[in-house]
Each structure stands twice: as structure tokens, then as C-alpha cells.
Amino acid sequence: MSDSPTSDAPPRRRSDATKAAILEAARERFAADGYERATIRAIARDAGIDPSMVMRYYGNKEGLFAAASAFDLRLPDVGTLTEPGALPGRQVGAVLVEHFLDRWEADEVLTALLRVGVTNAAGAERMQAVFRDQLGPVAAALSPDPAQAPSRAALVASQILGMALARYVLRLPPAVEMTRQEIVDWLAPTVQRYLTAERP
Amino acid sequence: MSDSPTSDAPPRRRSDATKAAILEAARERFAADGYERATIRAIARDAGIDPSMVMRYYGNKEGLFAAASAFDLRLPDVGTLTEPGALPGRQVGAVLVEHFLDRWEADEVLTALLRVGVTNAAGAERMQAVFRDQLGPVAAALSPDPAQAPSRAALVASQILGMALARYVLRLPPAVEMTRQEIVDWLAPTVQRYLTAERP
DNA sequence: CACTCATGTCAACGACTGTAGGCCAACATT
DNA sequence: AATGTTGGCCTACAGTCGTTGACATGAGTG
């Protein structure tokens, strides 16, 4: 080992900047065009390098997508949501809807994931995994009956994904024109009910 | 004019069967693969004819999609939904959710429309038009404030499209495993509220 | 019968795709 | 300075795509 600043952090390579540029361009293209129309050549052009570099660093197109779509929803900790006295005056539904809007508008990864997941098996699996592993625990902690947790998570996912689809992908004009606050006000009770209501 | 049974109905041509076979194969492929991966060659193979026939009858791939994705939601008449005493013991929300599930499972046109709309501009526009022109009037008739009708229609669309996305496209396991009745029971109050509630 | 036109097949073109491999320059290490 | 390694570009291949046009065949009509 020559230089390890802390523990076993990989050394900074000169190619890190290039790799990052490729990933950023890939996310933009996947988000804008979906899997098939986002060509390696176009991504390389955006990143200002040669297409063969993409192959060198990510193996093939699937590997590139896997690297570009790594994603953490960063949902608030379950404990934070359930401990008594948390969220003063706020409901879980509103917190979650706002958080999802934040995550959706922060970068283009979720849009890419959605656009790709619709026509690509790997993308669909990753979308499944994100909602199962990251939203699932929240539903499990809030659901009155633990056995219902997966269904409740799927219901929340359906409403969140549906709004994202309408607003960020299909761009239905009324969905685009609604203010952030209007969306939160309408969707929060829905999400709240899907997670916590005793019966439909 | 040689033969016009009623008014100006086009004469039955021998190629009608071929055209229909092409459209059916196109709908299947577009629904299963999306726009880019649904190739004219594959569609022609499914229909048992030569790819050039597709070009002859529909001009190009866009024309084929336009013909294959013509769609009528067949929503219940607005009058039927609003007249006093209609829907004995039923809520509008439940009727609409059931109707949407029916339409989604009846054929593959809506799935094709959704899969294509996510990556293809023409598909997105058609999806917009379907919900604007066919769901919009229902929202206008039910909304307390006519000015809110487009927003309310978009909210309903977001929940319906989201469930269709989760259940028929992404196939999130919990969404697939839910029974039809469970979905209706959970979504109906949401749709009902989006259409008729005074305030969020 | 001959003629016409709709229906269908076949072969090909040009463009674009993912991917592979060879070559070159800059750098780090000895 | 010599050497091995890393980062990068260029060219090329094999395959697929949408699309085109020439050609064959059949039915229908005079």
C-alpha cells in the first residue's frame, strides 16, 4: 500500500473525473431518452470522451446503467417517524410526500429509473428493489397489521410513482402546473391513509 | 360508387384481415416492448406477412403506432354519473376505479400507450389527450369548482396511472398480488376525494 | 380472352448500434 | 533515463434497424 489516508479508501485516480462525467451524462441521457434511445455514443459525446472509454470503465451498456442508477431514497429514519412527539404538528403523509418531491427534483436518477424501468427488465428490478427495501420498512413500522405492510407500501408507491409519471415524465399540463404545496395537500392524506388506516 | 350498403362505408377489401392482423401484432409488441424495441420486422413476423406491407398500409412506424393506439376509455356518461339516484349505493370513485381496471385488462392498448408514452413524444401526447378529453369532462361535472377540474382530473390520472404502472408494467409483486377488490376498496375513496372533496 | 389493379414477396440500401482491439501519449516508479 | 502503467483516441466489425423499389401473383372486370 502506498497511500491510504484513512482506512482502505481507493487512491484518487486521474480517471475519476472522467468516470464521474460519464455517469452524469449517462444519468441525463437515460432520464431524457430511456434505455434504448440513450446511446453510448451520445453519452460519450456529452461527457467529451470516446465511446470506448465507457466500455473500459463500465464493461457494457447494462453495467453503465447499473452504475448510473445506484440510488438511495434517503427516507427519514423509521424511528424518527414513529417516536412519540416527533413531527410536531405534521403528519407522516405530508412528510413523505414532500420528501419524495425533493428526491425527485434533486437529480435525474429517479426519472431515469422510471423511464428505463418501463421498457428494461434490469431497470424494473431496480425500481422494485428501491421501493421494497427502502419504503417497505417504513410501511412495516406504520402499518397496524405487519402482514399488510407490502400491500400498503405498494399503494403508496402507486400514488407517488403515478404523480411522478404525470408530472415529470408524461408532463400532463395540469400536473405540471400544480404548485408543490397543492400536490402535498392533496396527496398527503392519501399516503397517510394507505399507511395507517385500519381498513380501506 | 359500386357498392355502398348503407351510406359511404368503405368497401370490404381483401386486405382488411391483414391490416387487422398487423394492428393486433403491433399492439402486443408495443405493449410488451415499448416503442423502440418493438420492431416493424418483429410485428410483421407476428402477423405472418412481409415488413414492407406495414409500410404500405401505415406509411411508417409512427403511423403504425398512431393507428394501433387509437383508444376510447369508454367512461360512463357524465349524465349517468351525476343524475340524482344513479349508482344506487355506489360511489363514483368505486365505479371509476372498476371501470379503469376493466379497460386496462380488456386489451393491451392502454399498456402499450403507457409503455410508449414514457419514451416517445407522440405516445405521451396521445396519453395526454386521452385523459384530457375523456377524463376531463367527468371531473368538470363532478368538481365543486369548475376551475379546479383539470387539476382534479390530473390527480385521478396520477393515482390510476400509478396503480397501472405498478401492477401491469413494473409488476411490483405486492401490487400484482392484490386482489381486484382490494384495489377498488383502497383506491375508490382516493378517487372520490380527488373529484368531489371541497378542499384538500 | 386481355387488362388493371390490389396484394404480396424479395433483395437491398444506408444509417446506426454495441462492442473489440490496436495504437499512442502522459505519467509514475525505479 | 528506462520502464511499466494508466488514460485516451481511432478504426473497424458484425448485426439490426426503418425504409425503398422492383418484381411476381392473384382476383375482378371489360
A180 lies in some domain:
yes
Domain count for chain B: 2
A149-179: pLDDT as tens digits: 999 999 999 999 999 999 999 999 999 999 9
With CA atoms as reference, the chain B residue closest to A149 would be B174
- For the CA of B53 and the C1' of C11, the distance in angstroms is 15
Q: Is the CB of A42 under 7 A from strand C?
A: yes
Q: Is the CB of B7 under 7 A from strand D?
A: no
CA distance B34 to B119: 8
Q: Model confidence at A1, in pLDDT bands (50, 70, 90)?
A: very low
Close Cβ partners of A142 (under 8 Å, ≥ 6 residues apart): A81, A82, A92, A152, A195, A196
CA distance A69 to A37: 16
Q: What is the pLDDT of residue B14?
A: 82
CA distance A1 to A11: 10
Residues B64, B93 share a domain: no
pLDDT at B8 over 60: no
A153 at the B interface (CB within 8 A)? Answer: yes
A4 lies in some domain:
no
Q: Is the CB of A75 under 7 A from strand D?
A: no
Residues B83, B179 share a domain: yes
Q: Model confidence at B58, in pLDDT bands (50, 70, 90)?
A: very high
Q: Do the Cβ atoms of B79 and B92 come closer than 8 Å?
A: no
What value, to the nearest 5°, has the Cα angle with vertex B153 and ends B150 and B157?
135
CA distance A159 to A165: 10
A61 at the B interface (CB within 8 A)? Answer: no
Q: Model confidence at B21, in pLDDT bands (50, 70, 90)?
A: very high
Average pLDDT of chain B?
A: 92
Q: Per the CB < 8 Å rule, is B200 touching A182?
A: yes
Residues B188, B97 share a domain: yes
Q: Do the Cβ atoms of B161 and B130 come closer than 8 Å?
A: no
Q: What is the pLDDT of residue B47?
A: 97
Q: Is the CB of A41 under 7 A from strand D?
A: no
Give the N- to C-terminal CA distance of chain A in Å, as an integer. Answer: 60
State phi, psi for B80 to the nearest 5 degrees. -60, -35
Side chain identity at A98, as an amino acid letter? E
Higher pLDDT pick, B13 / B167: B167
What's the rounded mean pLDDT across residues A39-53? Answer: 98
Residues A98, A183 share a domain: yes
A8 lies in some domain:
no
Residues A154, A63 share a domain: no
What's the rounded mean pLDDT across residues B73-79? Answer: 87
B3 lies in some domain:
no
With CA atoms as reference, the chain A residue closest to B114 would be A118
User: Which residue, B26, B48, B68, sits at the end of a domain?
Assistant: B68
Residues A181, A147 share a domain: yes
What's the rounded mean pLDDT across residues B95-102? Answer: 97
Q: Which nucleotides of C are covered by protein (CB under 7 A)?
A: 6-11, 16-22, 29
pLDDT at B199 over 90: no
pLDDT at B4 over 60: no
B132-185: pLDDT as tens digits: 999 999 999 999 999 999 999 999 999 999 999 999 999 999 999 999 999 999
Q: Model confidence at A5, in pLDDT bands (50, 70, 90)?
A: very low
With CA atoms as reference, the chain A residue closest to B177 would be A151
A52 lies in some domain:
yes
Choose the weakest-confidence range: A89-93, A97-101, B16-20, B133-137.
A89-93
Residue A89 half-sphere exposure, CB side, CA atoms within 13 Å? Answer: 0
pLDDT at B192 over 70: yes
Q: Could you write out the DSSP letters of every residue in B115-171? A: HHHTT-HHHHHHHHHHIIIIIHHHHHHH-SSGGGHHHHHHHHHHHHHHHHIIIIIS-
Cβ within 7 Å of strand C: which of A 60-89?
60-62
Q: Per the CB < 8 Å rule, is A159 touching B162?
A: yes
CA distance B123 to B156: 20
Q: Is the CB of B52 under 7 A from strand D?
A: yes
Measured in angstroms, the CA of A38 and the nearest CA of chain B are apart by 10
Residues B100, B189 share a domain: yes
B73 lies in some domain:
no
What's the rounded mean pLDDT across residues B63-80? Answer: 92
B52 lies in some domain:
yes
A6 lies in some domain:
no
Residues A159, A105 share a domain: yes
At which residue does the C-alpha cell 401526447 appear? B125
Task: Note down the domain range covering B31.
Answer: 16-68
CA distance A156 to A75: 14
Domain CATH for B58: 1.10.10.60
Residues B56, B137 share a domain: no
Q: Per the CB < 8 Å rule, is B36 touching A119?
A: yes
Q: What is the pLDDT of residue B149?
A: 97
CA distance B65 to B112: 9
Q: Model confidence at B6, in pLDDT bands (50, 70, 90)?
A: very low
Residues A177, A107 share a domain: yes
Residues A102, A25 share a domain: no
Q: What is the pLDDT of residue A83?
A: 72
Higher pLDDT pick, B155 / B199: B155
Residues B48, B130 share a domain: no
Q: What is the pLDDT of residue B87?
A: 63
